[in-house]
Amino acid sequence: MSEQAREFALNEFFKAPQHLKQSDQASVTPASVTPALQKFHHWRQHLPDRAYSLLTFAILLLIWYTFSALKVVPELFLPSPASVLRKFISVADEGFVDASLLAHTVTSIARVLVALILATVTAVPIGIFIGLNRYARATIDPLIDFYRPIPPLAYLPLIVIWFGIGETSKVILIYLAVFAPISISTVQGVRRVDQSRIRASLSLGANRWQLIRYVILPSTLPDVLTGVRIGLGVGWSTLVAAELIAATRGLGFMIQSAAQFLVTDVVVMGIIVIALIAFIFEWGLRRLQKILVPWSEKT
């Protein structure tokens, strides 16, 4: 069943209780409902999903403002939205720990993007190889399953010992966190390729590389992009750990430095900036997925 059919079925289900008799349903008519309630139902049905999302964030912001205004939590532990906004303007203008907010942001984005690109370039071919070759599945797949559940902070000291405290160790730490979701999603995508398409391509004389290029890779692309989206989220969560390695710039470094001196408004501001950047990346990947694989939205 397509997404549109599911939404239509759910809307029809919730329009009126299915267990009411015909006479009971007749009593629940628009004539028996107040005009204000009718307007509310009409407004609710035509309100887009994005409006509900904005309403959710507005409610959360209102709760945050109320808690800070009533001093339910001390300012040291929960700064007000106005205080965070002032700190955002101050750090954007004057900087924090010898770097501007733009410099911290660009440094963190660069680290995540480099790790994401390297992970995608290596994980997709390896995932296709694992999905097509049982010997690769028997040898490489257990290694990925072995290290995937390990938290990045657990092998952080080992990476520092091997690669030092420069940019390489930070990128490698994020790379390892991003690699596993992309490779696993690629393997699952290869296993879900329609076998009739493979047989049809082979019967038309396609060789192995043509089969991968024109059949397997396009069929696997929705799963690959889903893995990239998951990996990107994991990469941002690993960023703070990566920037613990003798970093002098980065959003994670800024948050850690502010936490050491109990500058809570900078901590909250840094968390919000990371969340906004991650949201923008997620939105971009969703748009890219709709452009590259529009058929995936209809299955």
Asked if pLDDT for residue 291 goes beyond 90, the answer is no
pLDDT of the residue at 5: 55
Residue 22 pLDDT grade (very low, low, confident, very high; cuts 50, 70, 90): very low
SS3 144: helix
pLDDT at 68: 81
pLDDT score of 65: 85
Give 21's pLDDT tier (boundaries 50, 70, 90): very low
The answer to whether residues 201 and 215 touch, using CB atoms and an 8 Å cutoff, is: yes
pLDDT at residue 112 in the model: 92
The predicted pLDDT at position 213 comes to 82
* Structure token pair of residue 57: 């964030």
| 180 touches 147 (CB < 8 A) | yes
pLDDT tens-digit series, residues 122-151: 999 999 999 888 888 888 888 888 888 888
Q: What is the mean pLDDT of the segment spanning 58-68? A: 86
